[in-house]
Structure 1
Amino acid sequence: MAKADAATVEFETRAKNLLKGELKRRGVTYAQLAEKLAALGVVENERNLNNKISRGGFTAAFLLQCLTAIEVSSLNL
C-alpha cells in the first residue's frame, strides 16, 4: 500500500514521536503498556504495539487509549 501525501506522513511521524516520548518519559515499556491497555479493555500484545507505534499510522482513538492508560493529563504540542 502506498504512503499518503507528505503532510499525512509528517503528522503520522509526529503522533508516533509524541507517543514514544510520553512512554519514555514515564519509563513505560510496550509490555507494560499492553497491561495498562488491557485494564481499559483494549487487547494488544507487546509485539503488536511495537509494530503499530513504529508504523505511526494508528488512529486517534488508539493514541487517546494509550495516553489514558499511561495517565497523561496534558500534552505540549
Structure 2
Amino acid sequence: MTDWPAYAKGLLRAEMTRRGVSYADLVRMLAEGGVKETEANLRNKVSRGSFTAAFLFECLNAMGVKTLHLD
C-alpha cells in the first residue's frame, strides 16, 4: 500500500529542489496566481503532506512545472 500523503509531499519537495524554489519563493509565486498562503502555513501543509490535489497542482503550476514523471 502506498503512503499517498508522503508521496505527494516528496513530489512537491523534489520539484521545489529541482527548481531552487524556497518556501518563501513558493508563497510569492502562489500569491502572483491569487493563492494566499503564509510561509508557516505552507511549511506545515507540506511537512504533514496534508493538502489537496488541487493545491498540489496550484504549486506545480506556480513553479512552471509542465511535466511530471510518476515512477
TM-score, normalized by the shorter chain, greater than 0.5: yes
Give structure 2 stretches of 5+ with no counterpart: none
What is the CA distance between 1:45 and its match in structure 2? 1.1
Cα deviation 1:4-35 (Å, max 9, x = unaligned): xx65xx01100000000000010000000000
Highest relative contact order (Cα 8 Å, sep 6+), 1 or 2? 2
- Shift in Å at residue 57 of structure 1? 1.5
**Misfit runs of 4+, over 2 Å:** none
Name stretches of at least 5 consecutive residues in structure 1 with no aligned partner: 1-5
| CA distance in structure 1 between the aligned counterparts of 2:29 and 2:21, rounded to whole angstroms | 10
Note if 1:22 corresponds to 2:15: yes
Q: 2:51 aligned with 1:44, yes or no?
A: no
Larger radius of gyration between Structure 1 and Structure 2? 1
Structure 1 length-normalised TM: 0.87
Q: How many residues align?
A: 70
Q: Find the aligned partners of 1:57 and 1:43 in 2 and give their Cα distance.
A: 17
Corresponding residue number in structure 1 for 2:66: 73
